[in-house]
Every structure is written in C-alpha cells, then in structure tokens.
Structure 1
C-alpha cells in the first residue's frame, strides 16, 4: 500500500500505481500510439505528481537508439561556404524544430570530403539513428552508394534519373523556368544565369532557365559560373560585367549570389531593375530587406524540413516511401 507522501522512483512503482504493466508505462511515457490516450494521460499525470522522469539514456541504450539524427552539409564543391549561409540557417533551424517535436536531438556536421568514405564512416559510427543530408554537392555518387545499404537517410536535393536515394526538394527545373519566364515577360532579351551548373540542383535550375528561353524563341541565354559565397560571387560578377556586355536580366542560382549581383551592379554605376533586373532563388529571410527588395523563387524550407523528418522516421519504422518534389513559387519584389 502506497503511503501518501511516498514518491514513485521506478517504472515498476508507476506500474503499480496505474494498475498496468511496466511495458505499458514505458510506452505511455514515450508517447507510443499503441497505448490508449486515456491510459497515456493517466500515466503521465501520475508521473508528474511523483516528479518521475524516465532515464532517457538508459531507455535509448536498451532500445539501441541514440535519440539523435545527424544533419550533414557536404561541401565538396564549396569549401569556403559556411553554416552562416542564410539558406543553411533557415533549413537547419526548421530541421531542429521538426526533430525536437519528435523528441530527438540534431547532431550537425559540416564536411569537406577528403575521400569517398566520409559518409560510410559517419553512419557506421553509431552516433545517430538516421541522417539528413543538406545538398548533394559533388558527392551524389557517395550518397547513392551509402543510401543503398543504409535506409534511414534522406537528402535535401534533386531527384535525378538513375539515382535511387530518397530526396526532398523543390522542382528546380520549374523554378529556373519561372525565373527566366518572368524576365522575358518584362521584355528582357539578354539573360544570364549566374551559378555553377555542375551542382545537381543548380544544373536543374539552369536547364529550366534554358527551356523558358527556348519556348519564347528568345536569343540564347548566357551562363556565368560562380561560387556561392558572397565575396567570391561578387568578385566574379563585377569582373565579368566590367569587361563584357552587361545582360539586362539575371537569374541567380541562389539568393546569396543575387544579393552579390545587386551590389556589383550598383558599384558599376548601373541601376536595378532599370538597367539590369535580378531574380534570386530560395527566398531567404534577408531577401525582402535589400534595396531594392529581391524578386526570387521561394522554396518552402519549413515544409521541406518537416517532410524530410517524416520520411526519415517512416523509413526507420520500415515503411516504403518515395521522394518528394515541392512546387516553387515566384515572389515578386522590386528587383525584377
């Protein structure tokens, strides 16, 4: 018989108080949907009354789980890119929220690959219960090899024919097409795509850019390969436009590149959008704060993060899932 002031100090104690099995108590405290809502609520109420907290580390050890998900940013093509990139910050924050809602921690890793074993070593380390990769960079084949044998792996990136890795991302082809189509509809005739088409996501955006031009019967667009970091893209754009014919419309592969274009154009004594219209890609949080505010292609990173986490846990549960492509949208502001 329990004394009034005696506190439950174990699952067995709570089991006796609730009149259910120890396994039911454990499941209820873990929010297992197999336990009836009324029973879960009763057990949680008793746990609060007795200041009882389950030993999460011990539970995870027993279940052979870590309670963490790895979020990896492979930067094989952009070694100078950092976590302070506005797009990375937005997506990582959304992933952290989505994982926290599931009771999981986020283990963040920025990787500059030195060999093709970096991802295999990470998943075999036992540090995490699953992996989310942000961007395929130039590591798509490494990702493909590991994902063939490691199911709880989801990629923010492009879904490419011939590759089976599980991806979530916006329809990059459609995004590039929307951006170029908008400039063409404004009467712009000399369009340039600024970015590195060798990166899978940027390659698809460039293909969409070219498709819009072909459909309009307009003169062929140009491409200006560029790094994505602010200073590198600024230097590339300024040097190229200083010595060559300046386009009247720019589609940037990212908002960071687009913001660099705004600065370079102004420094060359030109005006946006009068002389050069600029469309970015991502709709990062600073896009609306620039002068002029940036017209861009929006990717819904919050929804994308939620979908990646959902697919990851469904994979962990043994479900069959497929890649998801989100529709991008054109956000009209003053730069184009």
Structure 2
C-alpha cells in the first residue's frame, strides 16, 4: 500500500469523522465502511462500494453512508474504525480479513455500535462475520481452466496465506483435476491484496513457466491485462473484468454484496439484528458467474453453467470426501462434507498440489 494513499485516507478519517453525535429520531442511520483498497480497484473494494451505493439508494433518506478507502490492516485500521464509531456511526462494515482484531477491539469499546466483519471468524455480542463462498466460483473456474489449458499448467496469483485463499486454491485445483487428470497448478504469492505492478509481474512470471490460464486472488485487472498482451486466458476476480481483456477474459466471478448490506441494515432498523456467521454463495445470488466469453468452446460454456447449477442446487459440494492433503493424510473422510466452521480452518493443500504453504 503506497504511503500517500494511506495519508489521504487518514486525513479523510480525521477531518471528516469528528466528535460523536447523538442520533435523533428523524436522523438517518449512519453506516460506515472500511476498505483495504481503493474503490477504483475494479475488484474486491470496488464491489463492496457498489453494494454500499445500492444499499443507500434502497433506503433513501433513512440511511447515510461513509467510506474510508486504502486502509492498511493493523493499527491504522483500528484508528479508522474507532473514529467511525466515535463520530456516531450506528453500523460499521469492515471488509478485509486483517481488520478482524481491530474490529473486535473497537467493538468492545463501543457496545452500542453494530459491527460486521468480512471473511473473519471472531464474533461477539455486537460483531457478526460474513463471507462469500468464493470456493464455489473457484471450482467452476478450475473446471473451465482444466478444460481450456493446452499446456496443462494453470497459474494462481495468491495474496496472503490465510484459510480463505488456501481453500480457494484447493477448489481451483479440484475443479481442474476433475476434468483434466494431467493438470498442474503453479502458485505465486504476492503478499498484497492490491498492487497492479506486483500482480502483473506475478502473471508474467507464471506465464514464463508455461502457464496458459491465469487465476488470481488479488484485486486489480492487471493480471488479465498481462494475459491479454501475451495471448493467454484468465478469469476475473470479484467484479466483471471483461472490459480489460476482451480476448483473454473467460468469465468473471462477481461478488454481489448489496443483498447482505440491505438485510443487515433492515435488521438494525427493526431492532432484530443478532450476531451470526453468514455465508453466501451461488444459492443466494451473492456470488455470480458473469460475462462468459462467447468465443469459448461450447463444451466449456456448458460445463461452466452445469457445474454452477449443481453447486447452486446443493447437488455437489467441492469439499466432500474422501480427500487427502498433499502429504497423503486424510483430511475429509468418505461421505463427509466440510461444514462452514471446518471450511474456515482449511490450512492444507489438497493432494496433487506440488507446493508448500508459506
């Protein structure tokens, strides 16, 4: 994260989010959002902000929103979250895994504020967690990649070694392996959510190793743009990235946050909100396959839609045993499907992935 970006976010937080206010009956509910990247990343933070905008429009004058972008994970996040709470925000959404502990700390200090934290696992009386079943989209991505690759080598640009990312790498590989027994996956860790330069470098490094399908767990369209330049295919992350690589783009897996934000605010307004661990995916239309490239072979397009439908209906779950990790240890017994709590703790690579977790 560039320092000047953080200075701008911090200045916004300090100068615009000032002294606490008491909410009168006719005042709108104040809802704050904290983003790890810029709203213009065309990925994760962009889609959260689209959800914020749609939610605010849904409620009209009953709700007003604030957002702070480019907030680093850690102590800086705690200061921003605290300032939002001090300035009279009734609901605060913190939208990155590394905001988990700062959110919990702030929630203890402000028990009357409702907090919702994305992708984490710590909850309290005034803190919920919410997450997308991104592994569903990754499995579909793996199926498409496994069918399309000519080199039998697909590549994954990984952000940080946390369960969400490890789980999704596994899901991509499982999907690819289900249609292509010879497929391999190569992984490059960039230790950032958003850095177009690093992301492009990682994509090029993978392509230099023979990768001809690029997947990513980072937020800019830079990997797809790099793929377009070199005649390689790729899949968009978090938002519809088709405009950035019209030839290379196979499809995007889009995050649609507005339904969750609307539901949460409705519950707060009705005094019915309770802490929960919410997971949404294809079944809830919070995760969507969008902009499938019409130039893809018909069998690939059919496999994409059929796999999505099977996961959406509950007919198929990617993490159903028997399954071993890449050391040969059984991690899911035959007939067992991982529940949400178990999925949140996946810190192993599935059998066949020739790599170690950093």
| TM over 0.5, shorter chain | yes
CA distance in structure 1 between the partners assigned to 2:228 and 2:85 by the alignment? 50
Larger radius of gyration: 1
**2:41 alignment partner, one of 69, 85, 91:** 85
Residues 334/205 of structure 1: CA separation in 2 closer, same or farther (3 Å cut) = farther
CA distance in structure 2 between the partners assigned to 1:150 and 1:330 by the alignment? 38
**1:230 alignment partner, one of 177, 196, 221:** 196
User: Could you say which residue in structure 2 is the equivalent of 1:299?
Assistant: 254
1:205 aligned to 2:168?
Answer: yes
Please say if residues 28 and 64 of structure 2, whose CA atoms lie closer than 8 Å, have aligned partners that are also in contact.
no
CA distance in structure 1 between the partners assigned to 2:242 and 2:275 by the alignment? 34
1:249-288 pair list within 5 angstroms: 249-254=213-218, 256=220, 259-265=221-227, 267=229, 270-272=230-232, 277-284=233-240, 286-288=241-243
Q: How many residues get paired?
A: 256
Please say if residues 23 and 88 of structure 2, whose CA atoms lie closer than 8 Å, have aligned partners that are also in contact.
no
CA distance in structure 1 between the partners assigned to 2:244 and 2:187 by the alignment? 27
Please say if residues 314 and 321 of structure 1, whose CA atoms lie closer than 8 Å, have aligned partners that are also in contact.
no
CA distance in structure 2 between the partners assigned to 1:166 and 1:61 by the alignment? 23
CA RMSD of aligned residues (A): 3.4
The alpha-carbon deviation at position 279 of structure 1 amounts to 1.5
1:309 aligned to 2:309?
Answer: no
User: Could you say which residue in structure 1 is the equivalent of 2:273?
Assistant: 319
Residues 266/172 of structure 1: CA separation in 2 closer, same or farther (3 Å cut) = closer
The alpha-carbon deviation at position 241 of structure 1 amounts to 4.3
The alpha-carbon deviation at position 146 of structure 1 amounts to 4.2
**Bigger shift: residues 142-151 or 127-136:** 142-151
Please say if residues 145 and 176 of structure 2, whose CA atoms lie closer than 8 Å, have aligned partners that are also in contact.
no
The TM-score with structure 2 as length reference comes to 0.60
The alpha-carbon deviation at position 180 of structure 1 amounts to 1.1
CA distance in structure 1 between the partners assigned to 2:81 and 2:67 by the alignment? 16
User: Could you say which residue in structure 2 is the equivalent of 1:42?
Assistant: none
User: Could you say which residue in structure 2 is the equivalent of 1:129?
Assistant: 90
The TM-score with structure 1 as length reference comes to 0.63
Residues 261/315 of structure 1: CA separation in 2 closer, same or farther (3 Å cut) = same
CA distance in structure 1 between the partners assigned to 2:89 and 2:42 by the alignment? 26
The alpha-carbon deviation at position 313 of structure 1 amounts to 3.9
User: Could you say which residue in structure 1 is the equivalent of 2:341?
Assistant: none
Structure 2: 5+ residue runs without aligned partners? 1-20, 297-358
Please say if residues 296 and 330 of structure 1, whose CA atoms lie closer than 8 Å, have aligned partners that are also in contact.
yes
User: Could you say which residue in structure 2 is the equivalent of 1:99?
Assistant: 56
**1:141 alignment partner, one of 101, 123, 126:** 101
Please say if residues 255 and 287 of structure 1, whose CA atoms lie closer than 8 Å, have aligned partners that are also in contact.
no
The alpha-carbon deviation at position 203 of structure 1 amounts to 3.7
CA distance in structure 2 between the partners assigned to 1:187 and 1:266 by the alignment? 15
Residues 151/199 of structure 1: CA separation in 2 closer, same or farther (3 Å cut) = farther
The alpha-carbon deviation at position 130 of structure 1 amounts to 1.0
The alpha-carbon deviation at position 208 of structure 1 amounts to 1.5
User: Could you say which residue in structure 1 is the equivalent of 2:133?
Assistant: 171
